[in-house]
Structure 1
Amino acid sequence: MLTGELVELRPVSRNDLDKLYEWANDEALTSLGSGSQSALQNNNPKEAIQAHYEQNLTSHNLWQDGNVFMVYTLATKDPIGKCDYRNLNPVTRSAEVGLSIGEREYWGKGYGKDILYTLLDHLFLTLNMRRVQLDTWSGNTQAVRLYEKVGFQTEGRLRENEYVQGQYYDTMLMGVLKEEYLLKRNENKKNYT
């Protein structure tokens, strides 16, 4: 388990599958998190989600597959979301990350920032990654602001590569280097909540 100031990241267990099913079939939530890919992720039967996680729970290679965590609050021990790292490259020491807070009452209260700090601390300080990247879509402005707060910079854009609710958006490619992250983390530490 990885512990932050507000959250604890635990590896996904079978007990988490009902919550993951609920979040995976929340169209507004998957639209925010996945952009145009959300159409492929909604309306999945519970058995498909269970089979996907069962396969990952039983035949998981950390260096090839990364890790998926359930996010629990430290205060209430309630599950509020998930996050992951994947595509680890031991040569370049890079990885990709993602996160989603499924419980809306925890939005805008510092939980996303704490999830990222906890995950990035693990990647940079424990696994010795040099670079972490992610992609999002330009219409998810709340996520873009969060990523920038922890040190991610926009490294590229795929113009009009996302189609969400009848409108085109850019895919944003964002990344942060270890030194940039640690600098931003130390700057924000006094305001860290």
Structure 2
Amino acid sequence: MNTIASAAFINGNLIDLQPINFNHMHLYDKWGNDQEVRHLRHYEFPRSTDEVKERYLNSIKATDKYSFEVVHKKDGVPIGTCNLHEINWVSRTAEIGFFIGERKYWGMGLGTEIASLITSYAFQELNLRKLKAVIYSPNIASQKVFTKLDFHLEATLKGEEYIDGDYIDIHFYVKYRNASEK
């Protein structure tokens, strides 16, 4: 992978969040079509690079979604994406999501930093009051990330999605900026 030199929008310790880079659509496409990655994100159908590009173009135009590229600081390479979506500016709520597409970076604690950075951005800069993370039950790592960041399991939809021949549960983890805002 080529290293990249771009200014970070949000600086972290191990990773930075940068604007989506349209020169990296081939990576986003690769990650989304990787069997192990897509099962944790539940992409049932293959996506071409053009479809991925169209998705991110639409997200840039949207007023209810912010997407970022996740860059590993030391290696200077993109390793995934994260976003806030379904932003409701009246209720001040949003859904948070991220994925690390480069599997060699799994298990390094980077997911916790990604989720922490985007949570801080949502609460401190966007003045949102509530975030929701929707996690498929096989994705134990993401459940641990959000639990570590004091999101609480608010609801579980039993047998809601069909993946690999099984109906799996969907967990809804929630965090409020302040307990008084519930």
Same fold (TM over 0.5): yes
* Structure number with higher helix proportion: 1
Cα contact 1:16–1:70 (8 A) shared by 2: no
Map Cα deviations across residues 32-64 of structure 1 (whole Å, 9 max, x no partner): 122xxx213xx222222223333444xx14xx2
2:126 counterpart residue number? 127
Alignment partners' CA distance in 1, 2:113 and 2:50: 32
Letter paired with 1:146: V
Alignment partners' CA distance in 1, 2:175 and 2:57: 32
Alignment partners' CA distance in 2, 1:51 and 1:120: 26
Structure 1: which 5+ residue stretches go unaligned?
181-193
Letter paired with 2:145: L
**How many aligned positions are there?**
171
SS of aligned partner of 2:123: helix
**Residue 47 of structure 2 is aligned to residue 39 of structure 1:** no
Pick one of 23, 27, 35 that aligns with 1:19. 27
Cα contact 2:59–2:66 (8 A) shared by 1: no
Map Cα deviations across residues 131-190 of structure 1 (whole Å, 9 max, x no partner): 10021111211111111111111111111012221122111111101136xxxxxxxxxx
Structure 2: which 5+ residue stretches go unaligned?
1-8
Question: 1:91 offset after TM fit, Å?
Answer: 2.0
Alignment partners' CA distance in 1, 2:106 and 2:164: 22
1:106 counterpart residue number? 105
Letter paired with 2:77: D
How does the TM-score come out when normalised to structure 1? Answer: 0.83
1:190 counterpart residue number? none
Letter paired with 2:89: P
Question: 1:65 offset after TM fit, Å?
Answer: 2.8
How does the TM-score come out when normalised to structure 2? Answer: 0.88
1:85 counterpart residue number? 84
> What RMSD over aligned residues (CA atoms) do the two structures have, in Å?
1.5
Higher relative contact order (CA 8 A, sep 6+): 1
Letter paired with 1:178: R
Alignment partners' CA distance in 1, 2:91 and 2:72: 33
**Residue 179 of structure 2 is aligned to residue 176 of structure 1:** no
**Residue 14 of structure 2 is aligned to residue 9 of structure 1:** no
Question: 1:3 offset after TM fit, Å?
Answer: 0.9
Letter paired with 2:158: R
Letter paired with 1:166: G
SS of aligned partner of 2:178: helix
Alignment partners' CA distance in 2, 1:105 and 1:13: 21
Alignment partners' CA distance in 1, 2:59 and 2:136: 27
Identity of aligned residues (%): 28
